[in-house]
Structure 1
Amino acid sequence: MMKRWPLYILIFCAGVSVLVLCQNLYFNIYSWSLPPGIYRKVDHAPRKGMFAASCLTVPIAQLGLRNEYLMKGRCRTGIQPVMKKIYGVPGDTVEIIDDRIFINGEEAKGIHILDYDSKGRDIYRFFEGKMTLNEGYYLLLSDYKKNSWDSRYWGAVNIDFVLEPVFIFPFKGIHYGST
């Protein structure tokens, strides 16, 4: 009986994998930008406060990989999709003043722009100043991780899909990645 436990573990893992693929589930244990947990891909129209994933553009993805802000993955740009909260939607006006972000004139509380990353390197900004979000473009930020590499640096991006939490782990510190 004891020799069968590896088979049971294999069957369990295969079953979970099939369930994940069939239900469009995403496990977040690597990214510090969202609470660790299980998220489901949904067909809802993106709205403020929802979670979303983006594969980012080539220049942003390349910089993220080079600086180890992002991990390699299945996006056509070679990265894993970044998962963040939607803060700005098409038609919103976004403005950076000093180290703060304002959306439609209101400050995004707790979101600050840093000049240096955790390794002391300058953080390149693809976006500065003021802009209105065009149709199909969103502002994705993390209020979960204070030094997240997100739209405060790369500006507005397309969303590849919207996520909703299925289960959020009730404690911090479960992440296994460095970003």
Structure 2
Amino acid sequence: MPSVRTRFLRWAAALLAVIAFVAWTAPHVMYNFTPSMPMGFYWIWRPHGPVEAGDVVLACVPLDTPAAREGLRRHYLPIHQFGELRCPGDVYPVVKPVAAVPGDTVTLTLAGVAVDHCLLPDTALIQADPQGRPVWHMPLGAYKVPAGTFWLISGFNRLSFDSRYWGPVPRADILRRAVPVLTFS
């Protein structure tokens, strides 16, 4: 049987290893607390190479749109959160999948969003928020995604506040890629 000192040293070494691991990964791990994507921990890093459809990213919402201004007033967008990543207006970045890339055609209808004529599941526009207030959205129609911009759309939660409402996001506003590590539906 190991001595008390040996057991203590083992526990101390294990605790030191855990502290070192947390200190090393902390800048690379974030917690998503909004329900538009699975809540939980995501591994994040700066994107190298092209951003592609299907990538999950942290991005700043373009605050110059009517929907984003409305989202700030109604607290659809998280502000004053912990962490080093900040967007203009002290808004915390959103976690969303990239649905459309430059060159794609996004068609916005009340029934949902189609990318290159393929309807994305669970993307119907909401006309009113849970409090019954009308929600501003991008005008219905087809949009060719311009170079250097991306449409971020989540079908995970029907109430997701995303590009259906505030439009495309410039590449410069995509801060990190995110990969779920430990999430809770």
TM-score for the superposition, normalised by structure 2: 0.75
CA distance in 1 between counterparts of 2:113 and 2:47 reads 29
Aligned to 1:149: 161
Of 87-96 and 67-76, deviating more is 67-76
> What stretches of structure 1 of length at least 5 have no aligned partner?
1-8, 173-179
Partner of 2:116: 104
Matching residue of 1:67: 74
1:47 Cα deviation after fit: 0.7
Could you tell me which runs of 5 or more consecutive residues in structure 2 were left unpaired when the two chains were aligned.
Answer: 1-14, 81-85
The superposition leaves residues 38-60 of structure 1 with CA deviations (integer Å, 9 ceiling, x where unpaired) of: 22124242111110122122234
Match of 1:19 among 4, 25, 29: 25
Distance in 1 (CA, whole Å) between partners of 2:178 and 2:94 is 14
SS in 2 for 1:27: strand
* Helix, strand or coil at the partner of 1:109: coil
> In 1, are the aligned partners of 2:110 and 2:140 still within 8 Å (CA)?
no
2:52 to 47, 71, 89: 47
Aligned to 1:33: 36
Larger displacement relative to structure 2 (151-160 or 54-63) = 54-63
TM-score by length of 1: 0.77
Q: Is the 8 A contact 1:35 1:168 kept in 2?
A: no
Cα 1:71–1:14 change in 2 (3 A) is farther
Q: 1:97 to 1:46 in 2, by over 3 A?
A: same
What number of residue pairs does the alignment pair up?
158
Cα deviation for residue 121 of structure 1 reads 0.5
CA deviation digits over 1:23-72, x for unaligned, max 9? x32222x1112222222124242111110122122234432110110111
Change (3 A) 1:13 1:146: farther
Q: Which runs of 4+ in 1 moved over 4 A?
A: 12-15
Q: Which residue of structure 2 aligns with residue 121 of structure 1?
A: 133
Q: Which residue of 2 aligns with 1:78?
A: 90
Cα 1:143/1:97, change in 2 over 3 Å: closer
**In 2: Cα distance, 1:77 partner to 1:128 partner:** 28
> How many Å separate the matches in 2 of 1:124 and 1:166?
30
Corresponding residue for residue 143 of structure 2: 131
Amino acid at match of 1:58: L
Q: CA deviation at 1:162?
A: 3.6
1:54-99: CA deviations, max 9, x gaps? 2122234432110110111421232101110111000001112333
Letter in 2 for 1:146: R
